[in-house]
Every structure is written in structure tokens, then in C-alpha cells.
Chains A and B, each alone.
Chain A
Amino acid sequence: MSHFDEMTGLLYLENQLKPENAQTVRAHASECGECRDLLEALRRESLWLRESLEVEDESVPARLLSAPEKGSAPWGWISALALSIGGAYTLWSGIIEPWRAQAAEAGFTQGNLLTMLFFSGAFWKGWDAMRSMVEFVTVATMCVLVIWLLRKHLGRSSMIAVATVGIFGMLAMPPMAGAAQVEHGQPNFELAAGTTVHTDLIVFADSTRIDGDVDGDVIAWSRDVTVNGHVKGDVIAFAQELRVNGTVGGNVRAFAQKVELNSTVARNVSAWVGDFDLNQSAHVNGTITLGTGDAVLDGTADGDLLAFGGHIAIQGLLESNALVHSGEMTIGPKAEVKGKLKYEGRKPPDVSPSAKFGTPMETVLKMEDSEGSKYSSPMYYWHQVLKWAAGFVFGLALLLLAPGFFFDAASACRKYAPALGFGVLLLFATPIAAVIVCVTIVGLGVGITAMLLWLIALYAAHVVVGLWLGETILGAGVGVGAALARLALGLLILRIVFMLPFVGGWVGLLVIIWGIGALALATRKTVQPHMAAAV
């Protein structure tokens, strides 16, 4: 037989030849290398086509999750939108407005939400309620979802217009940034005495020393920052150690391990810091807002003091009011508080008899058994409803944006041992790893991103477990409607259990561990396409 053609080769490989013809081809191929090569090439091509077609690179769209039914009411949407509107109103009137007022009172007058989020969010008085920001985020998510759902009706150009307007809107929020001088230390940076920077100075360096003057702000990412010169604007530092010896015309904002102030600060001081020292020579003309481990205030503050911390020691002069939430508080013999001093803590304050007070000090000791009173407040139950709703809306968003992932995560809850194992590991290892990564400047972004994802995962954990619980009770459902019903039931049960005294906290921890473990398993499945089961 002469060489066979490609068509014959393909039909042979696909078992489409009559047996006698197939036998002829087989016999020829066994003797002819060229035809054998052809058969092999075609066979590989078939395999290549099959593999390429089988790869799952797209998730199943959310709208296909529910079986097509005529006249089915989109109750999930209606209830979610209603909850969002209710939640948004409560958040605005109960949290955002008071927050803005509080921030303005504390001297955060930058006047835009982004700056406030960055610099005052961490020091906000109602930090506990910051958890409700997640609820705010879900509301924002709902807006995105609505746009997403309407995308077909809006059309591509309208979508681009909406997105463009949104981006410009966001960009327009902060005031126009002035020019800035950006310095990268090699590895250290030093602004020599006698030199003046007329703009803002942004420094990334191992060690930063500013002996000269700066007309704008100083923003520094550095292991240690020392400011000896005169800074007319703010000093904003992300550092292990910040030492300010020169006069600051604006505010001092610090995220640091240790902060030491020895000079005059014309406006306010806010610090998220391990150790805070306001030395005797220091004078703050505005307010002091602290989130700190230990703080020693020997200097003078004209404005209010708001401090959260482990141990706060007041030994200097406070011209206005002070509110201290801490484990312990010490008032030294030279201390003088001209306004009202309120202390909330677990231990009674250690007050020197020679300390002076404008009005009698108010002390609120937090008792361990103060839990019971909350159950009598209607607001407590309304907040529980809101928290349930927030979880539900979060789950809805997950269902629509990543249904496959969400169902995978809920299914992964059934793998009890791996889920709990991964959960424990991630719960404790992630923040440690993120902090370690943050030590380097390059790793800062990675670390912060990891922490944010970790926080989102902590929240998502109970939503995933909620869906699993609902499906376990009601059985596997079909489509968005059924999944939402199961999610709602699961979250409701979890919320009720969380409300129980003592047990609730431990169950909450277990749910977080279990949920983030399940999320990790689902993530692993997603990033390993060959392992992924079809959604």
C-alpha cells in the first residue's frame, strides 16, 4: 500500500473505517515511519483539542444559578434592596454623621472622607462600631451590583461613562495635592540643617533625620524618624520610632512603635502607637488622640485628650477635657486637668493626692458582669438584625459575584478536620506574616493587602458557615432563591447563638476558624484548575 492521506488517518484514529480498511492502515503504519508519524501527530492533535476544550476558565454566570421559571418573584432582590436601604439609613444617621462630627471636634479638618478614613478612622472614638463599616461596604457593594445587573440595559458606552464619572468623583474628593519632593534614602535620608524644602517632603528611607526646615508636610515611611527642624505642615510618620524635637506648625499623625514629642505642636496629635511620651518640654496646642499601649503625658495640651490604651499616665498640664479608656490610669503629683476628666477602665485609677482637677474626676469601672444589661436594650436587638442583614447582603454579593467559589467554600465546611486545621493556621499565622512582611517598605503594601483580605475573610467566614448550616438543615437547594433562603436561615441561627452569653463568643471563634479554613480550601481549589470540580 502507498502512503495513506490525512483524511484516512483521521478516520482510522476515530474508528470510522471499515475493519478491513483499518487493518490495511494498521499494517502499513507498522512498516512506514512517515505514516506512523502522521497518525501520532493527529492523535496528539485530538488530545490537544480535547484538553483545550475541557479547561474550565469561566465561572457559571450567577443568573443561571436559578432554574428558569415563569413569574418567579425576585424576592431576594427586593428584600436585599429593602435591607440595604434600611441599613444605609441607620448607618448614616447612627454612625457616619456622629463620626464626622466627632472627627471635626477632634481637629480632623481636612474635609474629605478619604483623609478622614486614613488618618482619623484608626483613632475614632467609636472604634468598636467600626465593625459596622463592613455593613457600609455591603451597601456600596449593592450599588455596584445594581449597576452590574443593569449593564445590559445601560450599554457599554453608558457603563464607561458611569465608571469614568465615578473615578473622577473619587479623585475630586481630596483637595488638589500640592507639589511634593519625594526622597528615597540610600539607605538613610538626612535633610541638613539650614536647608529648606518649600513643598511637602515624602521620604522612604531606613532612617530619616530632618534637621532642616520644611514648608509643607513631612510624610515618612522609615524605621526611625527624627525631626529637629521646623515643619510648617503636618508630620505623618509610619515608623518604628518617631522623635519630634522641632516645632511642628500642623498636626502630628503617627503609626509607630514609639513616639516621643519634645517640642511645640501647633495643632493636633494623633498616634496609633505602642509607647507614647509627651515630654515635659512638649506643648500641643490642639487635641491629643491616642491608641496606645503605654502613654506618659508630662507635657502640656491645650485641647482635649482622648486616649485608649493599656496604661495612661498623666503627669503634665491638660487645659481642657480628657476622656481615658484604659486598663489602668495613673495621675501624677504634678498633674493638672483644668477641664473634665472621665476615666473608664477595669482598675481603679491611681491618683496622687497633690494632683489638681478643675472638676471632680468621673470614674466608670467596667465590671466583668455588665453583659446582662445589654439584653434589655431594644437597640441591641436592632443591631443584631442589622448584623444579620449585613451578613445576608454580603452573602448575596458573594453568590452573584463568585457563586462557584461560595458554594465550594460552603461545601468545604463538610471537610471538618482540614477546614479547622487551615482555619487555626490562617487565623494566627496571617497577621504575624503580614506584620513581618510590613517591616520592609516594599512589603508594606503586600502586608496591608494581606491584612485587609484577612479581615474580609474573618467576616466572610460566618457567611460561609451560615450557608453550610442552612443547606445542612434544609437540604441542598437549587438556584439563587433556594441558596438565599438557606443562607438566611443559617445566618439567623448563628446570630441567635452568637447572642448567647459565654457560649456565643466561643461559637463565634469556632465559626471564624471553620469558615476561613473552608474559604482557604475553596481558594486552593480555585487556583488549582485541574482539581476544581465543575460548578
Chain B
Amino acid sequence: MNRTDKRLTRVAVDLHEQLGSDRSPPARIELPNAAWQQAETFLQRIHRARKRGWFLASQRLVDELRCALQRLRNELTTLCDAIQIPLAEAGVASVADICADLTALHEEFGDVDVDLRCNTISVTTEPIDLEGICLGPFEICLDGCDLVGGHPRNYRVIALDPNPAASNETVTHPHVQDDAVCEGEGHQLIRNALEQGRLLDFFLIVSNLLRSYNSNSPYVSLSDWHGVDCTDCGTTVCENERWACEKCEAWVCGECYFSCSDCDGVYCATCVVQCARCEEYSCSSCSCRCARCQQEVCPDCLNQNERCSDCHDQETEESNDPPINCEQSSRAGTAGASV
């Protein structure tokens, strides 16, 4: 047995002992009798209410029965999940299995590091490329101190040549933040692999998870990885610092967006109109045109006669003033009399 084999065997023995000491008697399994009993009670009450013609009461009881059945279903689902775990505990990897896994890790990943002092096992993936975005290689580092109870905090995924999201430097992969993976559908697979001491499977599952992208639930989506350019000023902006114009759907940054004074909608510079009177901005749907001067104004500056405030004042003034011709003739008449 060479030195490397000895090291691997020592790690395997430690891990196997740990897995053995983690075996605890399975918890007592109890069926959801209380939830079932409650559903039965509601059902009996419904029959009684219908028999007596209390239709309103029976309808309300049907709603309560539905809730009770949902509760029962939830409890059954939880129970199903819970009893799967003790079943999985049936097979725990032997020392030979763990040794074989550690040897196979070298063939799968090439770059494997077993640190006896820190009790960690690390592998390095190839550079991960998702939808054309290169995220670099990742080191998957498993802490061997607590394989079962420590999950999911007992392993870290470290970007070795990070290309983090523009909006958040701690997000180095759509499903990795602060070196922790959001496991999604891999959660139970990873847990089972750790509980059974299947190290090779653990590293394969985590590396496959890193090679996959779930666009429905990322920390930062790949489409937003590098941020988006503001349509108006061209600045790169990330998801929580940008707004979509409600008319043309262009992205604008916090410096360039306009809020319509009437509908409060958010718009880009090309989709708003500045009021010729008060200089407030309103969207093209809310802005109006003065029927007299034809200038665009906000709704607040247009009166009921579709006149802007200036034209309204002007018209009022004109209607109050006597006609110029009459005034002139009266002045002329007065002048003639005096002469």
C-alpha cells in the first residue's frame, strides 16, 4: 500500500466511523389519525346538515372539510418524505466503498485534494459555461466532520476564477451565493448520497447541478448576468436599479426614468411629454392638447373647455373687454361733443 492509498484509507475509516456513529434508531412512525378524525367529523356534520335542509351550513362545512382534507394530504406527504430517509439509511458505504469512491474521484475530476488536517475533500470542475456565459471552474469542498447533520452547510462551492453577476458580487453562479448552493431538485439526492457515504455520487450530483441552469429560480438570471444598458444614457444597470418603460418596454436607469404626473406610470424620455404650462411630465395617454393653442399640456393644466390655463385666461380677458371698435367710436363721439 503506497502513501496515497494509506491516506485515502485513513480518510475512509474516519468517514465510515462517523457514518456509523450517526446511525440513530428511526423515529416512531405515526399516521395522521387526528387529521383523519377531523375530516370524518366534518363529513358527519355535512350529512346531518343536509338531512335537516340546512344548506347554508352544509356549504360552510364543505369548505371546512376541504381544508381538513388538504391538511390530511399535507401530513401524509410529510410522512412519506420522512419515512424515505430511514429507508435510505439502510445501506451505508463500507470503508472499501469510500476508498473506491475517493480513487474514482481522481478519474472523474482529475483535480482532487484530500486535506487530512482540515478534514476536507475537494474537487475542481472544468470551467462552467452556461448559455454562453463563462463562470469559470468551481471547487467543491466537502467538510468531512459532519456528513449527515451538517448538510447543506457542510460543503462549499467556490468560484476559482469568478465572473460574478453585475448586480451582486456574492452570486458566482445563478444557483450559488456566498459559496452556498441552492440545491433545488438536487437537495434530496445530495442528502441521500451524504447519508450513505457515497462521496463520488455527492460530487457528481453537485457538479451536474453546477452545469445546469434553472431559469425559473436563479439568484440572478443569466439574461441579467451582465446587467442591461439604459436606453437613454447607456449606463449598465442591474435588475433592482432599472425600470421598464410602460409604453415601449425599454429599460431605463434611475436617473433617466420619468413618472407620469397623472397616472404615476414609469416611462422613458421618448414616451413622455412635458407640459407647456407647468413643465411636469405626463405620458402620451394622459397628456392633452389645448384646443386653442394646440400645445400639449398635462391634464391638470387643461380646463373643462379643453383650454390650457393661458388660453383660458386669455379668452376670459377677451370676453370681459368691450369690442375695440365700439370703444373707439365712443371715444370719437366723446371727443366730437367736447369740441
A and B are partners in one complex rather than unrelated chains: no
